[in-house]
Amino acid sequence: MKIFEYMEKYDYEQLVFCHDEASGLKAIIAIHDTTLGPALGGTRMWTYDTEEAAIEDALRLARGMTYKAAAAGLNLGGGKTVLIGNPKTDKSEALFRALGRYVESLNGRYITAEDVGTTVKDMDYIHQETRYVTGISEAYGSSGNPSPMTAFGCFRGLQAAAKFAFGSDDLTGKTVAVQGVGNVGYYLCKHLHEAGAKLIVTDINQEAIDRVVTEFGATVVGPNDIYGVECDIYAPCALGATVNDDTIGQFKCKVIAGSANNQLKNSIHGQMLFDKGIVYAPDYVINAGGLINVAQEMEGYNYELARKKVDNIYNIIFNILETSDREGIPANKAADRIAEDRINTLRRTRSNFLPSEKSMLSRR
């Protein structure tokens, strides 16, 4: 991988390599764009096959966070941390506190949070070294686990996509195939069940499957069978890239709307969905509820206000789908255009004036 060529292609600002021998820390912090504000993005802990794979993941995810924040109307940029290690065996207080010191050294340019492989407890360790972390324990005045709010935003975005596709956001009797019923997927299933939807689910975790079957009466299919089931809506809530050359021909749904990141294996698959008449709710917009929620912590957390902002995902998704239909472009391109236009407009606006000392301090 030619790192600087990749960074130049997608206009990245900074890549930070973090190492601490005592704790075994090996991490990469990627900052994509801070035009709208400080970069915010979670810390992902994963057993990457190669260091190059870890770097590429950090860069890709950081750029995704820029678009997510911009499309959600937040005054935040995009960043991400990937922590190389096994989340089941390699965690320690020293590890996360060492990472916290690296986050602190960036002096507010980057704010971290919980992500795949990390927990609220891990964020609490980071918090001992820096204030630039969200999603910490409620005892510190935080909102705690962001999964319920992510699921709520996903549910509202799914309703908006249903309204666009079917003429109504009433999900009574609609069949939704949910791929992945972990933290976010479980709460999404809860919302769907309460809305009267029928659930078809899959997951590699039998305990998670048993939970949604017992509580919501879900029907279970195999992991490779979920793509071809007869359903109204397919909701990918686990792995990325499940919309690809192999699966698009199998889909029997009218809508794809779920919480997973990077649902399209390649951008061309958004065009393929559009050509096939499948309504797609862009992933980084529909799953922005967690980001919106933790961003609210930076202003002093208020649950009702955070929920109101997350509820607006409904309007954002519907607007994107209307733009897609009106301009004859796939929904992923419409979402990108909205995010890029906001960033570029504010970049030009802010270049006209030097920020005052007061405004600079307020953004820290």
Residues known to be catalytic: 80
User: 170 exposed, middle or buried (CB, 10 Å; 0-12, 13-18, 19+)?
Assistant: middle
Taking alpha carbons only, the member of 139, 115, 116, 109 closest to residue 38 is 109
DSSP one-letter code for 26: E
- What is the β-pairing status of strands 255-256 and 279-280? parallel
Cβ partners under 8 Å of residue 338, min gap 6: 70, 71, 319, 320, 323
For 14, the enclosing helix (H) or strand (E) is strand 14-20
Q: Determine the Cα–Cα distance for residues 181 and 239; give it in Å rounded to an integer.
A: 11
Identify which of 272, 311, 305 has the alpha carbon closest to the alpha carbon of residue 289.
311
Question: Could you tell me where the beta strands, DSSP code E, fall in 150-197?
Answer: 175-179
Residue type, 250: Q
CB 11 within 8 Å of CB 23: no
**Which tokens go with 124?**
């609490």
3-state secondary structure at position 312: coil
Q: Which of 235, 189, 194 is nearest to 210 (CA)?
A: 189
Are 218 and 201 within 8 A, CB to CB? Answer: yes
Q: Is 221 exposed, middle or buried (0-12, 13-18, 19+ CB in 10 A)?
A: middle
For residue 326, give both structure tokens: 């009106």
Q: Strand 77-84 and strand 25-33: pairing?
A: antiparallel
Q: Beta partners for 175?
A: 198
Q: Which single residue is written with the structure tokens 């789908």?
A: 321
